[in-house]
Structure 1
Amino acid sequence: MSIKVFDTHVRTKDGRYLHFDVLIENNDPELAKSYARRFLEQQGVQDEDIAQDRCLFCHVEPSNPQVAAAISEQGYFILKLQGCQE
């Protein structure tokens, strides 16, 4: 499976910085943004908490079994990079 990587950066109004990648099968920026919003809600960040955000297509890469399984099951995989809770 070939996956598309959307590099995502979010700065909250209270100064938090979250950096993560949204991995999906299709090159659909709006779908990636909706998955990013879903993840942010799970992190306790609501739309009104966001001061600045960016979710942009970065590159294509082959998936590993864990990522492929998550995408098959839920449509996406989040790769947590900075500031994200477990």
Structure 2
Amino acid sequence: MQVSVFDTYVTRTDGSIMHFDILVPSTLTSEATIHEYGQTYLATKGQAGQPLAAKECRFCHIEEADEMVQTSIVHQGFHIIEMQGC
């Protein structure tokens, strides 16, 4: 499965920065849906409502997904890779 990777930075409520990637099927092109997935993830981290739009979430590249990522996408539509401050 080919996935699109969106490099995402969000300012947490305490002012620190969260950096994570949102991975979605490469056929998904709706930015609104991708941002909704990001908001779903932020809610799990106690950061619901923090700004997440094109400025904070940018397409980076397409790659081949491993089995774990594919399973996550099948079950919830997206996968998150936590990078920093998550």
Per the TM superposition, whether the score is higher than 0.5 is yes
Distance 1:83 1:12 in 2: 9
SS of match in other structure, 1:41 = helix
Deviation at 1:27, TM superposition (A): 2.8
User: Which residue of 2 is the match for residue 62 of structure 1?
Assistant: 64
RMSD of aligned Cα (Å): 1.3
Q: Deviations over 1:34-82 (max 9, x none)?
A: 01111111100121xx3x6401111100000000011011100000000
Deviation at 1:12, TM superposition (A): 2.6
Asked if the contact 1:20–1:79 (Cα under 8 Å) also holds between the matched residues in 2, the reply is: yes
User: Identity across aligned pairs (percent)?
Assistant: 35
User: Which residue of 2 is the match for residue 72 of structure 1?
Assistant: 74
SS of match in other structure, 1:39 = helix
Is there any run of 5+ residues in structure 2 with no aligned partner, and where?
none
- Structure with more strand by fraction: 1
The farther-off stretch of 8-17 and 31-40 is 8-17
Count of residues in correspondence between the two structures: 81
